Amino acid sequence: MSISAQQSDEIATRTEKFAQARVLREDLGDGAFVLRSPYPLKIDVQCVSEYLERWAEATPDHQFLAERSPDGDWVGVTYAEALTQTRSLAAFLLGKGLSKDRPLLILSGNSVRHGLLMLAAMHVGIPVVPVSVPYSLFDESLAKLRHIVQTTNPGMAYADNAETYARAFEFLASANVEQLSDNGALTFDQAFASEADERVSEARSKVDHDTTAKILFTSGSTGLPKGVIVTQRMMLATQEAVVQIWPFLENTPPVVVDWLPWNHTFGGNFNFNMILRNGGSFYVDDGKPVPGEIKKTIRNVRDVSPTLFFNVPRGFDMLLPVLREDAAFRSAFFKRLDLIFFSGAGLPDHLWEGLEQLGIQERGEKIPFVSAWGLTEAMMATCVHFPIDKAGVIGVPGPGSELKFLPNGGKLEMRVRGPHVTTGYLNNPEKTAEAFDEEGYFLTGDAGRLQDPDDPSKGIVFDGRISENFKLMTGTWVAVGNLRVALLQALSPIASDAVITGHDRTEIGALVFLNADECKALTGRDDTLAGYADDPAVRAFIAERLGVYNAEQTGSATRVKRIRIERDAPSVEKNEITDKGYINQRLALELRADAVAALYDGAEDVITSGKASS
């Protein structure tokens, strides 16, 4: 079925899934104001373990966690099995001396065993510290891992493969941190052999809203990462608020296929806990949005047909061409999909429009496409629960959330307060004090504006990170986040990401990364990223699109005068591309300082003023 743009506009998004969008506004004077949800937050549980206990009793045989076995089959645990194994593992951890002051490190990525250990520790008040995988595998100095160990004083660390994590394990042994793995001296099977006893029940009874559930470390792109204290209250407030504004979650147990890493709040708190809260099934995606790995995601989605699909813009960028070309995959993707959710970075319009059109063709209706805004320190500060027609709208404050807007350098800085906000950083009182204002609002460093100044219920538009913005030598401020999205839209579909340059220079430039699949479609040949970077058709495409884009700009703050096509992809190993699959602007500028210099020093491969110079 072919749908025209006009017909698409006439097809409404189903709105019965959501609570009515309502917002209360309080003006503070001088352009400042506060937005609040009128819906009172309702929390009737003490900890996330109550969710697990609830479903173990109500739907004991329902699939909870699953992953691919070495043979390729889905294997995992039901809710009843998960509770039994959680209690056994909790007894093991207590027996090893772990406590609120001796947390559990988890070094390896998402897995059923990772999930069970996470639940087991939280079940008895032991904080979990999930660590970004590159910190152990790709950092020769282990600097960030050493910092995390020094900050948290862990009692034990788990990694799935002792051989793969041998260097990290050697350091941990020297720091007197015991190591648990699937194949080392102390194995997961030995941990399973522990029997739950009164110690487990007693410790479980003491877990409440104020109990520290996790220590999540920030990305550390500008120094060593900070350990964010995540309480049970924060996680519960987020999930109960989501259910109040997305009531459809309670109608049918949700199903996800998800790769987003559990050492981040998006994957590990928002997504994982949403499935647990609503008795759903979580299929651990062993793929991710990088060349080669995306094929695993496609296979998994084809098998499962999720009801919710979470991803970052880079993931949608890689999936869209496959959805267009593969009818069977497209059918499996949309068959029972209730909602598509993106976060992590701005989503270019062509990805939004492409996914929306495919959903209409497949289902005859618009699948709700939504987003939210939050931080490691402040889960789900805002969320979309109403139809939106473009990316950039991050919703409105959810139940319990208060959002303060303050004029700052021509933008509105957003600060947030509520039960979903952290109490501070572990063992870092100085940074904790700096993170909050005098009224207890967390300083996010992000900017936002109202979609409709006269009607805040229409939503807030994300307006970039204030800390990423810079001035040209002319004194003109450049809004990096907005400009990046606009440039990617102009260069769609062959540009997958971009780094904006120009700090203390007279002109804005960009380092552009290519989408290999779209370059192949454009050129008609299979090549490397380096090969495509030199391809005349690719360079002409970018030069033409850049010229069209610049012709529509009215000032130097948005006009991109020079582009250099990068000959490789952003590096996961160097944390240039984050665990969540989006570009780390600051670190990329640092790592690619030579490329930035070449961009402004007249290198032959630079595309300037919309024309290729070679």
What secondary structure letter does DSSP report for 458?
G
Q: Give the pLDDT confidence score for residue 222 in this predicted structure.
A: 55
The DSSP output letter for 288 is -
Distance CA 212, CA 61 (A): 30
Phi and psi at residue 540, to the nearest 5°: -65, -40
What CATH number has the domain spanning 469-612?
A: 3.30.300.30
Cβ-based burial of 57 (10 A; exposed 0-12, middle 13-18, buried ≥19): exposed
Q: Among 3.90.1640.10, 3.40.1190.20, 3.40.50.12780, 3.50.50.60, name the CATH number for the domain at 49-207.
A: 3.40.50.12780
Looking at the chain, the domain(s) classified CATH 3.30.300.30 span 469-612
What topology does CATH give the domain 5-43+247-467? Rossmann fold (3.40.50)
pLDDT, position 344: 59
H or E stretch including 296?
A: helix 294-304
Cα(486)–Cα(315) distance, integer angstroms = 18
**What is residue 46's three-state secondary structure?**
coil
Predicted pLDDT of residue 411: 86
Mean pLDDT by 10 residues, the chain (614 residues): 46 69 95 96 97 98 97 97 98 98 98 98 98 93 96 98 98 98 96 94 98 91 84 98 96 97 95 98 95 93 98 91 96 96 78 93 92 93 90 92 92 95 97 96 94 95 82 82 89 92 91 93 94 95 94 91 94 74 80 92 82 42
456 upstream amide cis, omega within 30 of 0: no
End-to-end Cα distance, the chain = 43
Single-letter amino acid, residue 584: N
pTM here is 0.85
Q: CA–CA separation, 457 vs 335, rounded Å? A: 31
Please tell me the distance from the alpha carbon of residue 478 to that of residue 504, in angstroms, as a whole number: 11
What's the length of the chain? 614
Spacing of C-alpha 47 from chain mean position: 23
Beta-carbon contacts of 81 under 8 Å, excluding residues fewer than 6 positions away, are: 64
Give bridge partners of residue 408 from the DSSP assignment: 411
For residues 316, 383, 264, 224, the Cα torsion angle rounded to the nearest 10 degrees is 110
Q: Which long-range contacts link 177-180 to residues 24+ away (Cβ below 8 Å)? A: 177/105, 177/149, 178/96, 180/156
| pLDDT at site 7 | 47
CB 239 within 8 A of CB 280: no
3-state secondary structure of 402: strand
Is residue 11 within 8 A of residue 3, CB to CB? The reply is: yes
Q: Where in the chain is the domain with CATH 3.40.50.12780?
A: 5-43+247-467, 49-207
pLDDT, tens digit (0-9, with 9 covering 90-100), for 425-481:
999 999 999 999 999 999 998 999 999 999 999 999 988 888 777 878 877 878 888
Distance CA 120, CA 124 (A): 7
Q: How far apart are the C-alpha atoms of 481 and 499, rounded to whole Å?
A: 10
